[in-house]
A and B are shown apart, each in its own frame.
Chain A
């Protein structure tokens, strides 16, 4: 009997692994292996023209940590994240509350808020580049018609990141809206009705009932928002290529630049490892929400 069981278990193991194999193979080669490879290469000197990587310990890390460009890029990346994640979450929640109703226009309104999410970032950047273009662009023309001086926001080191942030918030808010919407819709309506009977009105209901119930959803959305924001590079390639003077260089663009323009694979691998650490940090909420689904029954 026991023999038979193990035979069956062995068969089950074999079929189980066989079915998994194709997907697992691709995931291992293009997700697990590159992570390991980045870590290994980050400890080497490896540039174009070199036969093989040369082990140098943590020299890439110490050199980067002593480089002002690296810290500038990190500052840009973090401030871009702060400029975009919080506003797009606040606006996303606002939009979700606006469209969490029934009515004839709701479909149209939801569509209007969400459509940027189905456009490629590259297309969005191409359009917004003209909005932000010096003098002739829509934004500068608006300033001129108001009697103000044109700003040429993309060429100025203090306005280039905020300008990109506005564009990104416009895109991301609608995307986050659908997650907030699903969170709002899963709040039991009995709770809200009970609050209404108890005399709670608009703001009070929102502050003391809706918001606390949305907390797990919000935590989860923040993970999505931060991850999305850190993996951005497309718009930098189109709009500025990091100009002026690296004021708009974000981490992923820096990785791309070090790897494909400077052909410095060692340094770009080191930057990749730093990026992975950041992604791991912003994913921490995922580890805790495994069992607690964001949906309320």
Chain B
């Protein structure tokens, strides 16, 4: 009995050790990225930095590329997209959760279509539509295809349905109108769903590249990802790994820090958004 316990313990320690080693392997690209971004340029690339610490790379890149402007653009896009999705998805989810009417099946087909077809695949026709609307190279144009979100509608609808109907009816009897009922009764109950939806929406739009690349042209509308790609592919960045690492660090830092603080929330959000049928 005693031996068996010991053996079990030893296996447990081995598994822990193995998972930590694997974790370090997984972290290696990030370690190299941060180390390279924050140390003086060396002639030879090394995994661990051999040169002294410096913020010069970050400073240089920040001034060479209008990252301040790109940050502002990205924040406007991410916040704007989320706010509009918040309203459109809440209304649609409420409708699909509590109303029974003809033609609903059709709506579910549309939602299903959006779930199986990633937006990136439709860049050609959507680019044409956007140009015809005269919205090429505008922030609104970058946001437009995402303003009706099937993922958000589904997530919220599922949560709304778990709220007891009596709660909503009581509010209505008390004289609350439809919007007040949603705002005071359903939204507070669906807080976890809203959190998940926020995490997914913000990470997606912070990281999105192909669509903003195609529909923006001027620095006043470019996103961080597009700015990074332009810099990483420019002649001046060639062989300049410390500068490219610094630029990369600048654009990944906010989301990565948020993730390290709220890791559970992030992972749960990704799961709940994936399990959306």
Chain A residues near B (Cβ < 8 Å): 9, 12-13, 15-17, 19-20, 22-35, 37-38, 41, 95, 98-99, 101, 103, 105, 107-124, 126-131, 133, 136-138, 141, 170, 174-175, 178-179, 181-182, 220, 224, 227, 230-231, 233-234, 237-238, 252, 255-256, 259-260, 265, 268-269, 272, 275-276, 279-280, 283, 286, 289-290, 293-295
**A231 CB contacts on chain B under 8 angstroms:** 118, 120-121
Chain B residues near A (Cβ < 8 Å): 15-16, 18-20, 22-24, 26-27, 29-30, 32-33, 44-45, 47, 87-89, 91-92, 94-96, 99-104, 107, 110-129, 144-150, 153, 178, 203, 206-210, 213-214, 225, 228-229, 232-233, 239, 241, 244-245, 247-248, 251-252, 255-256, 259-260, 263-264, 266-267, 270-271, 274-275, 277
Cβ-neighbour of A17 out of B101, B112, B117, B207 (below 8 A): B101
The DSSP consensus for interface residues of chain B is helix
Can you offer 18 A-B residue contacts whose CB atoms are under 8 A? A20-B91, A22-B92, A23-B91, A32-B110, A110-B267, A112-B27, A113-B23, A123-B252, A128-B29, A136-B44, A231-B120, A237-B210, A265-B124, A269-B124, A276-B117, A279-B121, A286-B112, A289-B277
Cβ-neighbour of A31 out of B19, B113, B207 (below 8 A): B113
Known: A98-B19, A98-B22. A122 touches B225 (CB 8 A): yes
A24:B124 contact, CB within 8 angstroms: no
Quote the shortest CB–CB distance from B211 to chain A (angstroms): 10
Cβ-neighbour of B92 out of A23, A129, A290 (below 8 A): A23
B251:A34 contact, CB within 8 angstroms: no
A111:B29 contact, CB within 8 angstroms: no
Quote the shortest CB–CB distance from A41 to chain B (angstroms): 7
Q: A17-B101, A119-B207 are in contact. List 18 more A-B contacts (CB 8 A).
A: A19-B91, A22-B87, A23-B91, A26-B144, A26-B146, A29-B129, A30-B119, A31-B113, A34-B122, A35-B113, A107-B264, A123-B248, A127-B32, A130-B244, A141-B45, A181-B267, A252-B210, A256-B210
CA distance A108 to B271 in the complex (A): 19
**A35 CB contacts on chain B under 8 angstroms:** 113, 117, 122, 125
**A233 CB contacts on chain B under 8 angstroms:** 120, 210
CA distance A114 to B266 in the complex (A): 10
A135 to B, closest residue via Cβ: B45
A117:B228 contact, CB within 8 angstroms: no
Quote the shortest CB–CB distance from A112 to chain B (angstroms): 4
B20:A24 contact, CB within 8 angstroms: no
B19:A109 contact, CB within 8 angstroms: yes
B96:A127 contact, CB within 8 angstroms: no
CA distance A110 to B23 in the complex (A): 8
Quote the shortest CB–CB distance from B221 to chain A (angstroms): 17
Cβ-neighbour of A20 out of B107, B125, B245, B264 (below 8 A): B107
A15:B256 contact, CB within 8 angstroms: no
Known: A25-B148, A120-B206, A126-B228. A259 touches B123 (CB 8 A): yes
A120:B26 contact, CB within 8 angstroms: no
B256:A115 contact, CB within 8 angstroms: yes
CA distance A113 to B203 in the complex (A): 17
Known: A20-B107, A27-B150, A30-B144. A109 touches B23 (CB 8 A): yes
B133 to A, closest residue via Cβ: A29
**B115 CB contacts on chain A under 8 angstroms:** 286
